[in-house]
């Protein structure tokens, strides 16, 4: 009888731990989703503000600049990553060409 009660108590404790872990992961997912939404909202607001003060620049142009800035922030995090991942581009390479290369590299297209 004692062994059965002990087994039932352990089974109940495992259920409680599983429920706690599930809730923790759910809460973490909600927090991550909220952070992503805040980033998206911030980018949207920044793009609208930038475009309103710079006629002729599109939201895509702004996103390309953000992508390029993020790329250099990422590869510049350590000297090794800079030498391993910096894309090649000519001195006359336009922002559009560099962004296209980043997108190709991110998608694994080596052509």
The pLDDT value given to residue 94: 61
CA angle, corner 89, sides to 83 and 93, nearest 5? Answer: 145
Q: Is the pLDDT of residue 87 over 60?
A: no
**Bigger pLDDT: 101 or 58?**
58
Instruction: Please say whether the beta carbons of 47 and 59 come within 8 A.
Output: yes
The pLDDT value given to residue 85: 53
Name which of 13-27, 39-53, 63-77, 78-92 the model is least confident about. Answer: 78-92
The full DSSP string for 46-110 is HHHHHHHHSTT--HHHHHHHHHHHHHHHHHTTSHHHHHHHPPP--TT--HHHHHHHHHHHHTT--
DSSP 38: H
What does each C-alpha distance from 107 to 7, 20, 103 come to in angstroms?
A: 52, 38, 6
Q: Does the CA dihedral 91-96-101-102 come out positive or negative?
A: positive
Averaged pLDDT of the chain:
79
Q: Considering the entire predicted model, what is its pTM?
A: 0.49
Q: Is the pLDDT of residue 111 over 50?
A: no
């Amino acid at each position: 009888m004692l062994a059965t009660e002990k087994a039932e108590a352990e089974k109940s404790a495992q259920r409680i731990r599983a429920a706690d872990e599930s809730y923790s992961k759910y809460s973490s997912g909600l927090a991550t989703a909220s952070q992503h939404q805040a980033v998206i909202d911030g980018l949207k607001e920044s793009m609208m503000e930038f475009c309103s003060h710079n006629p002729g620049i599109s939201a895509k142009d702004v996103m390309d600049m953000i992508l390029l800035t993020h790329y250099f922030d990422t590869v510049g995090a350590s000297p090794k990553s800079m030498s391993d991942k910096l894309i090649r581009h000519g001195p006359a390479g336009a922002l559009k060409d560099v962004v296209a290369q980043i997108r190709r590299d991110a998608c694994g297209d080596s052509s």
